[in-house]
Structure 1
Amino acid sequence: MFDLALSEAGAQIILATSSDDKYPPENMIDGKDDTFWTTCGLYPQEFIIKFTSLVSINTIQISCYNVKKLKMEVSSDDNQAFKTLAEKELQPSDSAPQSEEISGRNVKAMNLRVVIESGYDHFCAVYKICVHGNAERS
């Protein structure tokens, strides 16, 4: 098992509802702990990660700040609707990033959509998202 959501593994951010030149969405999948994507103040906010092929997701770990409620959804190809994998309400954190792990239950996915439904402030940040699993064999 390895991190399927790394840009060096071929993963791409194909949609993000906000972007800042200093804190672009690609920062979430660059493998670094000190970079992040920031939202622009309105909710909901979302981003979609596209994997290089169909994958089997074991766990998803997200490191973020000021996120109150989020939803994770998957689709098994580009033409199918997204299905909810998990919905979580995160506890606030004063100075450290929030960290949450979600079981993927070995669900098959080509795309992962993360919807930040609300935050503890006008802006929030996602430092890193790791998707642990395996590529499906064809």
Structure 2
Amino acid sequence: MFDLALSEAGAQIILATSSDDKYPPEHMIDGKDETFWATCGLYPQEFVIRFTSLVNINSVSITCYNIRDIKLEVNSDDSQNFKTIEQKEFQSSDSAPQIEDFSFGNVKAQNLRVVIESGYDHFCAVYKITVNGTAVH
């Protein structure tokens, strides 16, 4: 099992609802702890990670800031038909980063969509998303 969401593993951000030249969405998958994606201040916000092939997702970990409600969705092809696999309300962490973990059996996916439905402030940030799993053979 390894991190399927790293850009060096071939993962790509194929959609993000906001982008800033200083804090682009690709920062979430660059493997660095100090970089991040910043949202533009309206909700909902979302991003989609495309994996290099069909994968089995075992767990997802998100390091973020100011997120209140989040939804994780997957699909196994290039359609827009996503299936919700988790919804959660995060606790406010004041000035500390939020680290949230999600565990699954084996969830098959080609794409992972993360929908930030609301936040504790106008802006939120995602520092890192880790997707542990294996390629489907």
Pick the TM interval, shorter chain. Answer: over 0.9
Q: Is 2:30 the partner of 1:5?
A: no
Q: Which residue of 1 aligns with 2:117?
A: 117
- SS of residue in 1 equivalent to 2:8: helix
Superposition deviation, residue 63 in structure 1: 0.4
Superposition deviation, residue 80 in structure 1: 5.4
Instruction: Determine the C-alpha separation between the residues in 2 that align with 1:104 and 1:110.
Output: 16
Instruction: Determine the C-alpha separation between the residues in 2 that align with 1:117 and 1:105.
Output: 25
Q: Which residue of 2 aligns with 1:49?
A: 49
Instruction: Determine the C-alpha separation between the residues in 1 that align with 2:105 and 2:120.
Output: 29
- SS of residue in 1 equivalent to 2:13: strand
Instruction: Determine the C-alpha separation between the residues in 2 that align with 1:135 and 1:14.
Output: 19
User: Number of residue pairs matched?
Assistant: 137
Name the amino acid aligned to 2:136.
E
Name the amino acid aligned to 2:10.
G
After superposition, where does 1:84-123 map in structure 2 within 5 Å? 84-123=84-123
> What 5-or-longer segments of structure 2 have no aligned partner?
none
- SS of residue in 2 equivalent to 1:27: helix
Instruction: Determine the C-alpha separation between the residues in 1 that align with 2:58 and 2:24.
Output: 27
Instruction: Determine the C-alpha separation between the residues in 2 that align with 1:27 and 1:80.
Output: 24
> What 5-or-longer segments of structure 1 have no aligned partner?
none
Change (3 A) 1:80 1:115: closer
* Runs of 4+ residues over 2 Å off in structure 1: none
Q: Percent same amino acid among aligned pairs?
A: 75
Instruction: Determine the C-alpha separation between the residues in 1 that align with 2:125 and 2:63.
Output: 9
Q: Normalization by structure 2: what TM-score?
A: 0.98
Name the amino acid aligned to 1:36.
F
Q: Is 2:106 the partner of 1:126?
A: no
Instruction: Determine the C-alpha separation between the residues in 2 that align with 1:84 and 1:14.
Output: 18
Q: Which residue of 2 aligns with 1:29?
A: 29
- SS of residue in 1 equivalent to 2:112: strand
Q: Normalization by structure 1: what TM-score?
A: 0.98
What RMSD over aligned residues (CA atoms) do the two structures have, in Å?
Answer: 0.7
Superposition deviation, residue 104 in structure 1: 2.6
Instruction: Determine the C-alpha separation between the residues in 2 that align with 1:86 and 1:20.
Output: 28
